[in-house]
Amino acid sequence: MTTEFKITLAQLNPTVGDIAGNAAKARHARAEARAAGADLVVLPELFIAGYPPEDLVLKPAFQAACRAAIEELARECSDGDPAMLIGTPWVDGGKLYNACALLVDGRISALRYKANLPNYGVFDEKRVFARGPAAGPVTVRGVRVGVPICEDTWLEESEEYENVVECLAETGAEILVVPNGSPYTREKNDMRLSVSVARVAESGLPLIYLNQVGGQDELVFDGASFALNADRSLAAQLPAFVENITTLRWTKGSDGWRCSGPVAPVLEGDEGDYAACVLGLRDYVGKNGFPGVLMGVSGGIDSALCAAIAVDALGADRVRGVMLPFKYTAQESLDDAAKLAKALCIRYEILPIADAVNGFEAILAETFKGLPRDITEENLQARTRGTLLMAISNKTGAMVVTTGNKSEMSVGYATLYGDMNGGFNPIKDIYKTEVFRLSRLRNVWKPEGALGPSGEVIPENIIVRPPTAELRENQTDQDSLPPYDMLDGILERLVEREEPLADIVAAGFAHDVVTRIDRLLNIAEYKRRQAAPGVKVTRKNFGRDRRYPITNRFRDPGKPLPKADDTLVSRAAKASTDVFEG
């Protein structure tokens, strides 16, 4: 009887569509597992394809290439231990599944299909995959291993949900191995641990939660894989936001399988958000082949934080800062921008834009004749800056990093220095109040693997002085917006929680302020659709998981919600519908 079982967890960073590169990573992981004497090496969900592949996975050529790579890996596993469990798309009976393939002794010895397909938030798997059946465990070197895939452990109360873990426990599984593609958001670690502890409690089985790491467009996967013993104690914890290959030694006693592995600290809160922004930008630039980045450096806090993130992600030699001053730019802003560039050791230049702005105004003078001067002329500053940044990008190949924070993007105020248009925005999902917190945090801490200098890199004056947006010829944003703590408090309820306006007012916010912010949020939808992608760190970002129509006349009046009148609904209606649907 087997009393020792070694499992290697390959918490790796795949690239969507790079089948050959992902297969090479799998081979490397298997080589390390073999050197450690492992029986099984496990890779994350859909690893060979990269996750999430979205509609790419519907292409027959892509499906065939993934299968060919899995078959080649299977042949290579004819050399003995370890076996490999790897995620892949798989076509069976004309249906496409999110699958895990077990490769043993030169063969694909078993396939397991994801039964519960997430279709909320950033997930849209029901569009592309068929539901798999709940199936029993696979056998690896005499050990019965249950393989629920990601959502198969996130038990929900619905008629169509397959209780895969219960099925595995009833069919003799000894240990659960869960391959995941679970993106980072705040407090996600606690949520994953809570869900996994519940599955362990229900099944009485130890559980390994393996998550991928890396950035994919707007999503960042933080890894942070872990293992639980059957008594719900933490058996091992892998680090977050870095690749890691760890072999866990499980021993079997009278109470089943047990492990005592390494426990790494996991980043939480602001530290987790900052690390996600760094990793998201690094992988977006690296996986898309940009040689480096450039950005407008205004002397303000948003561009300062983005510059720090960029240097931590890519190194100072791949970051270029450009100050684009106009007549309203204060000397203090010029001084602070120069100090920032020096502290971060980045290439920095000053390109005055007065001639360009005046030129645009001269061109438009006849067209605008007789019309009052307004925000149109004022925003020519921003348009000019964006044009110049994109020109440098086109000439050098460097990607423009945009710098609009979530607070100002929410209400349509993000236009300065190309902070809406460009390649990628690392703080797109960061509210202004957190921009201040992250700036202070970065001056005393940086994540593992950060390439920027230690210590104070964002001048204190940038953090403490009132922010200027030059949207109204050097007025501050808060001349026309409420204080940022109030603005963010309202936006968090509107965007993250989607609360009725009446509830937000009841929480203590002024009715006129709430209704104004709601109006600005609605009318800025078309602007946000034109914005660059950016890292997701909150429950709902302006991108993949918050989808509102641009053309939309509904407005919440801010009154208590009307009560439903159940007396108007015939009780026979539901029964009639059920009969009609068979």
Q: Which of 25, 45, 378, 428 is catalytic?
A: 45
Sheet holding 244-253, edge to edge: 107-113, 95-104, 83-92, 40-42, 4-11, 244-253, 256-259
Tokens of 469: 């947006």
Tokens of 108: 């694909």
Q: Which among 113, 165, 89, 177 has a CA at the least distance from the CA of 140?
A: 177
Q: Which among 147, 232, 240 has a CA at the least distance from the CA of 195?
A: 232
CB 534 within 8 A of CB 544: no
- Active site annotation includes 45: yes
Q: Which of 66, 77, 100, 150 is catalytic?
A: 150
Q: Is the peptide bond before 82 cis (omega within 30 degrees of 0)?
A: yes
Tokens of 401: 């990093």
Residues written for the chain: 582
Query: Which residue's structure tokens are 């800056």?
Result: 385
Half-sphere exposure of 405 (CA within 13 A, CB side): 25
- Cβ-in-10-Å burial (0-12, 13-18, 19+) of 579 comes to exposed
- Active site annotation includes 151: no
Per DSSP, the residues of 503-514 read HHHHTT--HHHH
Q: Which of 6, 114, 446, 527 is catalytic?
A: 114
Q: How far is the C-alpha of 376 from the C-alpha of 363, rounded, in Å?
A: 14
- Cβ-in-10-Å burial (0-12, 13-18, 19+) of 481 comes to buried
Q: How far is the C-alpha of 93 from the C-alpha of 285, rounded, in Å?
A: 39
Q: Which among 558, 402, 419 has a CA at the least distance from the CA of 490?
A: 558
Report the DSSP pairing between strands 175-180 and 256-259.
unpaired
The single-letter DSSP state of residue 182 is -
Q: Which among 491, 487, 489, 467 has a CA at the least distance from the CA of 477?
A: 467
Question: How many contiguous H segments (helices) and E segments (strands) does the chain have?
Answer: 18, 19
CA separation (Å) from 314 to 280, 291, 307?
11, 10, 10
Q: How far is the C-alpha of 222 from the C-alpha of 182, rounded, in Å?
A: 8
Which residues are catalytic, by number? Answer: 45, 114, 150
